[in-house]
Chain A
Amino acid sequence: MQSLVLDLENQDIMTRSLLIYSSIFILVSFFLFKGLYYDPKKIQSPLIGKTFPNFELYDLDNNILINNNNFLSKKTIINVWASWCLECEREHSYLINLSKNKEIDLIGINYKDNPTDAVAWLSMRGNPYRMIIKDQQGDLSLDLGVYGVPETYILDENQVILYKHIGPINNQIIQKEMMPLLRY
């Protein structure tokens, strides 16, 4: 009789601990599973909503000093690129297409590049940019929170950063994410 009572008690403890352990297991797996699809680079840039940093750098084409006053009061796309960057080649045709839109100003930041290579690269593939900021030291890019090339930003008419994309842009990104911000 006594052993039966003990057995029942044991079973009770066992089901209870099973419940506790399995719920902990499920909870942990839930967070681990979520972590699988979590890309820390997709954290929204803290610069969104802030004004484009002040700079004074040379222009790639004419070697004249340019600064924030050389921006137009239009919606502006800033594209960070380099001639040594393979991914930049993939997005280049999209930039050429975007440059046909006269309502948008397209400015390039040439990131840590050899100017001769950069000019040659553009003359082969076409130059979509109205103006190219030569950032050979990467100072402006560091100020902008750039990870690497290519990266694309959208500014409003007052140089406030609205959007940032890391990596090459494509049709889907342009249509779904960028175009809505580029309309007036």
Chain B
Amino acid sequence: MKRISLFIALLITLNISFADDIDKQYSNLIEELRCMVCQNQNLAESEAPLAVDMKEKIKEMLRSGKNEDEIKMFLSDRYSSYILYEPPVNKQNIILWFGPFVFIILIGFFLLKRYLK
């Protein structure tokens, strides 16, 4: 009897942590994905029909065991990487990713030169 109740307790905790994990992944994802039909809202903030559908789809995919990257890939394959608030580095946006650092280094260099003078 003791063993069974222990087993049940284990199952319950496992189940809870599993659900927790999905919930966490879900809220991470909807924060990081853009609502495609709104002006600058993420999926979490939006109640637009398309956003609601996407959230349903994300829930469904998480429940069927897909991870965050797979879901992001699924959506950006269909709605372009514009849907990701953190787009992958590619040829078109390399200046945006690294430009600011180059700029800071350049400015630092000039300031140092002036200071040393």
Show the binding face of A for B, using Cβ within 8 Å.
Answer: 40-41, 43-47, 112, 138-139, 142-145, 147-148
Residues of B within 8 A of A44 (CB): 80
> Is B78 an interface residue, CB under 8 A from the partner?
yes
Q: Determine if B50 and A43 form an interchain contact, defined as CB atoms under 8 angstroms apart.
A: no
Q: How far is the CA of A41 from the CA of B53 in the complex (A)?
A: 18
Q: Determine if A138 and B53 form an interchain contact, defined as CB atoms under 8 angstroms apart.
A: yes
Q: Between A and B, how many residue pairs show CB distances below 8 Å?
A: 32
Size of the chain B interface, CB-CB below 8 angstroms: 14
CB-CB under 8 A for A147 and B36, given A45-B80, A47-B78: yes
Residues of B within 8 A of A145 (CB): 78-80
Interface residues as binary, B61-92 with A (CB distance below 8 Å gives 1, 0 otherwise): 00000000000000011111110000000000
Give the residue name and chain of the B residue nearest to A138 (CB): B53
> Is B37 an interface residue, CB under 8 A from the partner?
yes
Give the residue name and chain of the B residue nearest to A139 (CB): B57
Give the residue name and chain of the A residue nearest to B79 (CB): A145
Residues of B within 8 A of A47 (CB): 77-78
> Is B54 an interface residue, CB under 8 A from the partner?
yes
CB-CB under 8 A for A46 and B50, given A147-B36, A147-B37, A148-B37: no
Q: Determine if A112 and B49 form an interchain contact, defined as CB atoms under 8 angstroms apart.
A: yes
Give the residue name and chain of the B residue nearest to A46 (CB): B80
Given A41-B36, A46-B81, A143-B78: 18 more A-B contacts, CB < 8 Å: A43-B80, A43-B82, A45-B80, A46-B76, A46-B78, A46-B80, A47-B78, A112-B49, A139-B57, A142-B57, A142-B78, A144-B78, A145-B78, A145-B79, A145-B80, A147-B36, A147-B37, A148-B49
Q: Determine if B36 and A46 form an interchain contact, defined as CB atoms under 8 angstroms apart.
A: no
User: 13 A-B contacts, Cβ less than 8 Å apart?
Assistant: A43-B80, A43-B82, A46-B81, A138-B53, A142-B53, A143-B78, A144-B78, A145-B78, A145-B80, A147-B36, A148-B37, A148-B49, A148-B50
Q: How far is the CA of A43 from the CA of B82 in the complex (A)?
A: 8
Give the residue name and chain of the B residue nearest to A144 (CB): B78
The 7 closest A-B pairs by CB, nearest first: A145-B78, A46-B80, A138-B53, A43-B80, A145-B79, A43-B82, A40-B82
Q: Determine if A147 and B78 form an interchain contact, defined as CB atoms under 8 angstroms apart.
A: no
Give the residue name and chain of the A residue nearest to B34 (CB): A40
